[in-house]
């Protein structure tokens, strides 16, 4: 393992990031940072490049131009595989295994024990269904298995791509509380969503649109800047502003 580099205040630093795919810029000159031990929400309409940005951070997407540093190392550095947990947007679990076998397997890849599996299952409310085959679950339950597979690793950075899609409101509130608890233990979360209701639960927001970073601020700043309490309306107003003055993305 390479020597521990100097510790910066951000868990993730993205600078001048451009990703080209099939001759199109999916991300264009993105600058953005994610503070440690906080929840940062990555928001934007579908097709805005959220998943691509998350994929560059976990190191599975090749970078065309720019730099992405994660926990003071370049994204994709082998040492990061121990530190970063990733939940893909489409649930990536084994449909022909039980819920518990899935979580235990991904836990084993991180050297976790059975007790961690139990914890992760209770966090997503699947304790009762632990011995059911994943294929027999409903869509929402299935994606919770995928989330548990990311939580079980107990990494320092959790990158979650739309983790609460298809969840009932009660469970959604529970999970956000769980995310909050994780940050008090020093875990950094980067969570993508297209629900503005969830944006209010984040400490920081990054708003992405058509591959460009529109704004990077706290929910309070967003409300203040746009003069509305409704985050949905605030986001729309930001988009309108950016269309009026398309030259530069706003940065606080």
Partner 1 sequence: MNLRSLAATALRVLRQLRHDPRSIGLILVVPALLLALVYFLFENETVPPGAPRTFDRVGLMMLAIFPFVVMFLVTSITMLRERTSGTLERLLTTPMHKADLLFGYALAFSLMAALQAVVASGVAYYVFKLDIAGSPGLVVLVAVVNAVLGVALGLLCSAFARTEFQAVQFMPVVVVPQILLCGLFVARDRMNEVLEAVSNVLPLTFSVDALLEVAGNVDATDAMWNDVAVLSLIVVAVLTLASLTLRRSSA
- Chain residues binding partner 1 by CB under 8 A are 21, 58-62, 76, 81-82, 84, 86, 88, 90-98, 101, 105-106, 108-111, 133, 149, 153
Q: How far is the CB of 26 from partner 1 (least distance, A)?
A: 11
Q: How far is the CB of 128 from partner 1 (least distance, A)?
A: 20
Strand partners, 73: 70
Q: How far is the CB of 58 from partner 1 (least distance, A)?
A: 5
Token readout for 197 is 């209701």
Strand partners, 207: 43, 215
Nearer to partner 1, 134 or 199 (CB): 134
Token readout for 181 is 């608890």
Would the CA dihedral through 122, 123, 126, 130 be positive or negative?
negative
Laid out side by side, the sheet with 84-87 consists of 84-87, 157-161, 188-193, 39-43, 204-209, 212-217
Nearer to partner 1, 70 or 167 (CB): 70
Please choose, from the candidates 147, 182, 186, the residue with its C-alpha nearest in 3D space to the C-alpha of residue 163: 147
Nearer to partner 1, 100 or 215 (CB): 100
Token readout for 141 is 């339950």
Nearer to partner 1, 89 or 122 (CB): 89
Q: How far is the CB of 86 from partner 1 (least distance, A)?
A: 5
Q: How far is the CB of 35 from partner 1 (least distance, A)?
A: 22
Token readout for 177 is 């509380």
Q: How far is the CB of 113 from partner 1 (least distance, A)?
A: 11
In the block, tokens 């679990």 appear at 93
Rounded CA separation 73/58 (Å): 11
Nearer to partner 1, 61 or 242 (CB): 61
Give yes or no for a contact between 188 and 36, defined as CB atoms under 8 angstroms apart.
yes
The dihedral over CA atoms of 193, 197, 202, 207, expressed in degrees to the nearest 10, equals 50
Nearer to partner 1, 34 or 205 (CB): 34
């Amino acid at each position: 393992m390479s020597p521990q580099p100097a510790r910066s205040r951000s868990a993730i630093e993205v600078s001048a990031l451009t990703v080209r795919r099939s001759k199109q810029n999916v991300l264009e000159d993105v600058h953005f940072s994610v503070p440690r031990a906080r929840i940062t929400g990555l928001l934007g309409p579908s097709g805005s490049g959220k998943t691509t940005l998350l994929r560059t951070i976990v190191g599975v997407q090749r970078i065309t131009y720019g730099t992405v540093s994660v926990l003071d190392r370049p994204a994709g550095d082998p040492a990061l595989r121990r530190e970063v947990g990733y939940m893909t947007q489409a649930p990536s679990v084994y449909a022909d295994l039980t819920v518990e076998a899935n979580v235990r397997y991904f836990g084993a890849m991180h050297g976790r024990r059975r007790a961690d599996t139990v914890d992760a299952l209770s966090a997503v409310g699947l304790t009762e269904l632990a011995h059911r085959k994943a294929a027999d679950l409903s869509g929402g339950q299935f994606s919770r298995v995928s989330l548990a597979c990311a939580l079980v690793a107990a990494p320092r950075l959790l990158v979650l791509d739309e983790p609460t899609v298809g969840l009932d409101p009660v469970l959604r509130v529970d999970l956000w509380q769980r995310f909050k608890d994780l940050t008090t233990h020093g875990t950094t979360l980067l969570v993508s969503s297209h629900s503005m209701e969830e944006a209010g639960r984040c400490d920081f927001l990054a708003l992405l649109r058509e591959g460009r970073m529109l704004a990077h601020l706290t929910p309070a700043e967003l409300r203040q800047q746009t003069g509305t309490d409704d985050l949905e309306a605030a986001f729309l107003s930001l988009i309108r502003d950016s269309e009026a003055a398309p030259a530069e993305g706003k940065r606080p």
